[in-house]
Amino acid sequence: MRILAARLNHETNTFSPVPTPLASFEPKYDGDARTFGTGSNTAFGAFVDYATKRDADLITPLAATANPSGPCPDDVFEALIAPLLRAVAGGVDVILLDLHGAMVSQGHEDCEGELLARIRALAPDVPLGVALDLHGNISAKIVENCDCIVGFKTYPHIDMYATGAHVTRIIEAMLSDGLRPHMALSHPPMLPHTLKMNTEVDCAMTDLIAQARAAEGKNGVLAATVFGGFGLSDIAVAGLSIVTVATATDKATSLANELARSAWDRREDFVYVEQPLAQSLQEARSAADQPGTGPVLLLDHGDNCMSGGSCDNMDVLAAALAEGMDGIIAGPICDPELVATLTQAGPGATVDVTLGNKAIAKGFIAPQPPLPLRGKVTGCSDGRYVVTGPIYTGQTCDMGRAVVLQTPQATILITERPHEPWDLGVFTSAGIDPLKARYLILKSRMYCRPVFSPLSRAMIECASGGITSSDYSLFSFERLTRPIYPLDSITGWPA
C-alpha cells in the first residue's frame, strides 16, 4: 500500500505586514520531511506512525510550516504544493494531510480548498483524510474535496498528534470495513475573538467542545469539530464553523446544526472586550505590590507573533515607561534595522535610538512614531536556542540576531525576526533572566502561558494597537461575509 502523508501549515493574517516568502516555511522534502515528522507531536507525526504500523510504502513529499504572517505570494503557494501534486499523480492508495485551514495566498483566499480540489481531480477515489487547526476558516470547498476532517480540540494546541490519529482511525475503517463517511458543515454568522477560545479555562468554547466530544462514537458519529476560526483574515468564510463526520448524511447534518445552534446561543460569550491600557497598567502596579514571587506578566496580545503580529508595536512598553514603571524586561521586539545598528555599536556602547513602530500595515491604523530611547548595549547573540518545553520541546528556534538594550527603566530584547516567547530560552540565550523582572512584557496571547504563567505572581492582558488586536473596529473588512456577529446586529438566525 502506498500512503502519502504531507504537512503544509500557515495561519494567514491578511492585514499583517509581515512577509511570507518561501524560506519562512522552511520546507522539507521526501526523506527530510519524513525525519521531521517521525516522533513529532503533530498530525503528520501520527500519519507517519500509521503508515509504519501498516508496513506501507510511505511517501512524504512535503513538510512545511510558517509562523502566522501576511498572505504568501502565489508562486510560493505553487512551489509548495507542486511536489505534493506530483506525488499524487504518481499513484497512491491513501492521502493524509496535516493542514491548517486558514492559509491565504495573494490569489487564493482558500488555499486548503484549492489544494484539495486539485488533489481530488488527480485522485477522485483515493481515501483522503485531513487534520486541521482549531482556528481554521472552513469552506465548503474544503469539505467537499476530502473524505474526513478532524480538527484540534485544544488551545493552546496540545492534541495535534491525537487529531492525526483520529483521522487515521476513520481512514482505516474505510480501508478495512468499507466505511463511507459523510460530512456536514454549519457556519453560523459569528466572528469569535481568539482570546475567548482558551480551552484551559471554563468558557463557552470548552462547553461546545465537550458537547462535540460527547457526541463522538454515538449514533454513527465518527468525529465532531468546533472550529473557532481565525477572525483576522478578511475572507468570505472567516469565523466559527462546525464540521461533523458520520456514517450517514442525516446524522452528520443533525449534529452540525445542533452544535451550531449551541454556539449561536452563546455568541455573547465569544466576544472579548478590551479594557483600557491605562487600567491594565494600574492593575499591574497593584499586583507588583502584593505578596508573591516572580514578575507581573503583561501580555501585549494586540501584537502577538502567533497571530501575524509584527512584534514592533510600542504601545504597551511606551505607556509603561511613561507611567514611571521600572524593573521592566520586554521582548522580543522585532526591529532588524536597529539590531544591525546596535550590533555594529557593540556591547558597552551607549546609544540614542528609536525602537519599533516601523511596520506599516495596509488598511490598518498607522502606528505611533518610533519610541526614542537612550541606553547601553549589554549583549549580542545569534538568537538561537533549544526549547525546553512544554510546547515544541527539543526544537531549535532562531530569532535572528538578538541584541540587549539596557535603559534606566527597562531591559529590552530586540531581534531580527518576529518570535513567540514560548520558552525561557528566548531570554536566557541572550543573557537575560526574565524571572528577575518586576514587570515582564511579552508580545503573546496564549503560547507563553504554559511556561511563564506558573512562574509569575500575576498575569494581565494588555491592549495595544497592533495588528492582532481584539478590537475589530480597527480592521477594514472588505471580503468578509456580512452580516456577522459581533460586527453586525443579527436577528432570526437560523431562518
Q: Give the N- to C-terminal CA distance of the chain in Å, as an integer.
A: 47
- Examine the pLDDT at 494 and tell me if it is beyond 90: no
- Residue that has been written with the C-alpha cell 493524509 in this structure: 96
- Grid coordinates standing for 385? 536556542
Annotate 372-427 with DSSP letters as a single string: EEEEEEEEEE--EEE--SSSSTT-EEE--SEEEEE-SSEEEEEESS-----STHHH
CB contact set of 250 (below 8 Å; sequence gap of 6+): none
Closest CA to 403 of 417, 391, 414, 411: 414
CB 192, CB 213: distance < 8 Å: no
Render pLDDT for 9-62 as a digit per residue (tens, 0 to 9): 999 999 999 999 999 999 999 999 999 999 998 999 999 999 999 999 999 999
Burial of 487 (0-12, 13-18, 19+ CB in 10 A): middle
Neighbours of 173 (CB within 10 A): 17
Average pLDDT score over residue span 443-460: 94
Give the span between the Cα atoms of 130 and 245, in whole angstroms.
12
Residue 437: per-residue pLDDT: 98
The pLDDT of 226-245, averaged and rounded, is 98
pLDDT of residue 364: 85
Domains in the chain: boundaries = 2-270, 277-469
CB atoms within 10 A of CB 53: 10
pLDDT tens string 114-159: 999 999 999 999 999 999 999 999 999 999 999 999 999 999 898 9
Taking the C-alpha atoms of residue 309 and residue 223, their distance in angstroms, rounded to an integer, is 33
pLDDT tens readout for residues 291-304: 999 999 999 999 99
Q: Could you give the percent of the chain with pLDDT greater than 70?
A: 100
> What pLDDT score does 104 carry?
98
> Given this model, what pLDDT does residue 158 score?
87
Q: What percent of the chain has pLDDT over 90?
A: 93
Query: What is the tens place of the pLDDT at every residue in 323-357?
Result: 999 999 999 999 999 999 999 999 999 999 999 99
* Predicted pLDDT of residue 61: 98
In the chain, the amino acid numbered 181 is P
**pLDDT tens digit string along 363-411?**
788 889 999 999 999 999 999 999 887 777 778 899 999 999 999 999 9
Lowest mean pLDDT among 93-97, 175-179, 489-493: 489-493
Average pLDDT, the chain: 96
Per-residue pLDDT, 261: 97
pLDDT score for 388: 87
Decide the pairing of beta strands 402-406 and 396-398: unpaired
Separation of alpha carbons 125 and 249, rounded Å? 19
pLDDT digits (tens, 9 = 90+) for 58-77: 999 999 999 999 999 999 99
DSSP 463: -
64: phi then psi, degrees, rounded to nearest 5:
-145, 130
pLDDT of residue 492: 84
H helix count then E strand count, the chain:
13, 19
| pLDDT score at 233 | 96
Give the closest residue to 458 by CA, choosing from 299, 332, 316: 299
3-state secondary structure of 85: helix
Instruction: List residues bridging with 72 in a β-sheet.
Output: 105
pLDDT average, residue stretch 449-468: 95
Closest among 126, 99, 90, 134 to 25, alpha carbons compared:
99
> Residue 491's pLDDT is what?
86
CA distances from 338 to 18, 170, 412, 492 (A): 17, 51, 12, 53
Secondary structure of 181-233 in HEC code, one letter for each residue: CEEEEECCCECCCHHHCCCCCCCHHHHHHHHHHHHCCCCCEEEEEEECCCCCC
pLDDT number for residue 362:
81
Integer CA distances (angstroms), 240 to 13, 112, 194, 357, in order? 16, 17, 11, 32
Domain 2-270, CATH = 3.40.50.2300
Three cell numbers at 276? 483600557
Report the distance separating Cα 319 and Cα 281, nearest Å: 8
